[in-house]
Amino acid sequence: MGRIEESVEVLAPLATVYEQWIRCEEFPHFMRGVVSVDRDAPGSSSWVVSTAAGRRGFEAVTTEVIEGERVAWDGGDGSVRHSGVVTFHQVDDRTTRVMLQLEVEPHGLWEHLAGALGFVDRRVIDDLADFKRHVEAGAGPRVD
């Protein structure tokens, strides 16, 4: 398995950033690497992502939630085997650092090559940048 660690600072309060992250079903609207996310049941979702090797699907199961601080998951089934954790850190009243750690298991020659060439890291960096732009553009907590 390969390990990816990336972070981004978002100019928004921690509560806003966390609220936006847990609405993962909205990721396809602004993250170029996420094609679709469907919540199947509490703590379970089906994902389709765009990778260097083409579109891949997987089921994700949330394994830990500490509200406002941490979300961990296991993406054990499907063509993308991985696990991950995202943590949220208050830098100041208006800035939040989002830290993402992924363990990714490539399948086949192309995925091993894509990982070795940094394509997977680049996709994560781009998706975090997309998330940052989305939140900073004014996406706030949902008012129901």
Q: Kindly list the domain boundaries of the chain, sorted by start residue.
A: 2-136
Res 75: pLDDT: 84
Identify the CA nearest to 133 among candidates 41, 1, 32, 50.
32
List per-block mean pLDDT (blocks of 10 residues) for the chain, which spans 144 residues.
Answer: 87 96 93 91 88 80 96 76 92 96 67 49 84 85 38
Architecture of the domain defined by 2-136? 2-Layer Sandwich (3.30)
With a threshold of 0.85, does the pTM exceed it?
A: no
Q: Sheet of 34-41: strands edge to edge? A: 2-10, 95-105, 81-92, 70-78, 54-66, 44-51, 34-41
Q: What do you get for the CA distance between the two ends of the chain, in Å?
A: 41
Res 3: pLDDT: 83
Please state whether beta strands 44-51 and 34-41 pair in parallel, antiparallel, or not at all (unpaired).
Answer: antiparallel
Res 139: pLDDT: 59
Q: Which helix (H) or strand (E) holds 108?
A: helix 108-116
Q: Which helix (H) or strand (E) holds 63?
A: strand 54-66
Res 143: pLDDT: 37
Res 33: pLDDT: 87
